[in-house]
Structure 1
Amino acid sequence: MKELKVRLTFLEEILGTASADPEIHETFIASNAPDAPTRKEEVEAIGIEGVIEKSMTIFPRDNGVPIYWDYQIKGFFKDACGMLRKVTGSKSSKIKAYKKEIDGLIFVEERKIPIHFEGEIGTCQRPLRGQTPQGERIALANSETIPAGSWIEFTIKCLCDSHEAAVREWLDYGELRGIGQWRNSGKGRFKWAEI
């Protein structure tokens, strides 16, 4: 088993992804959590303040500290691998059934990953456009943000030694396409270092 301890330093601000409405979180997001016992823990981690609007996406919190969940990192790995599979000669292009392999053979050791930052948590509002049978629809999305320069640290465990090179490739890809919401605009882009 290969183990890789990394620090991601964000080049752009990162956006919260959890619904501030505990009922939405309970019925949809937490119900899709990888293991049912964590459902209550995830709903409690939202830590909603009375001033936060229900339509805003926020960062889950652990004792008031914004966090990423382990499965959000694995979600980034799946997104990166899915894109890099199309690159001829990439390590990702050699992984068959990549989602299944990431789910079962690559793990993030820490369940809750604290986000370290200086400054204030801000907000980012942006229009969301969607094509529907009734025509184009536009809605306003509102998310908490943590500024560029923030960082996280976590440990990646690869049960197959051959996956280490692919994990490094995915982390490199994070400089081009970040983690979290609105990553196609550059939000959540990061550089990484082994520690």
Structure 2
Amino acid sequence: MTTGAEPPIDDDPSVDGSWGPSELPDIALVARASELGDESAFTMLLDRHADRLHAVALRIVGSPEDAEDVVQEASLRIWRGLAGFRGDARFSTWSHRIVTNVALDHLRRPPAATATDRPARVDHLDPARHSIGREAVGQLWEAVASLPPAQRTCFLLSEVAGMAHDEIARELAITVSAVKNRLYRARTVLAAVIEDPDSGHT
């Protein structure tokens, strides 16, 4: 027997927006941002991944200022693309791809800072170690950009984001063997560019 009316359930943090960034998973924040236009949810989402996104941009473009520009532009693309995000991949993977694409676009952009003016950020493909010239660095990044999407994503998560094979496997929902296979194929193409930068790539 009840002694009085039960209080209304109005303290659900997902209803009044009082939840903190650790209280909802990414997919819930994406839903609030895309379906309700909730900018605070989007801000929480970006804040959650800000360090990793900036690190990815920085390792590609090489300059903190340029990395900041890349993240700003990528943030706009992420916001505009939220409606098309279906959760087939994790938000982190999807956003990394966007930042990577923006960063690679930035490297191609003349005139102030082109890819040939940038240091290579991939340790095992460091031109200093392989005696390739600065012009070849630009060709190397062009080769990265031209890789099939699955190979490019694995390569950049490994070499640019610094993720281990098992982390990439979890991120992309594939096996570690598949990660290794994609990395092998990507590195084979890129190694050929380093050995003969004038040969071009497909």
TM-score by length of 1: 0.31
TM-score by length of 2: 0.31
Say which structure is richer in strand: 1
Larger radius of gyration: 2
Say which structure is richer in helix: 2
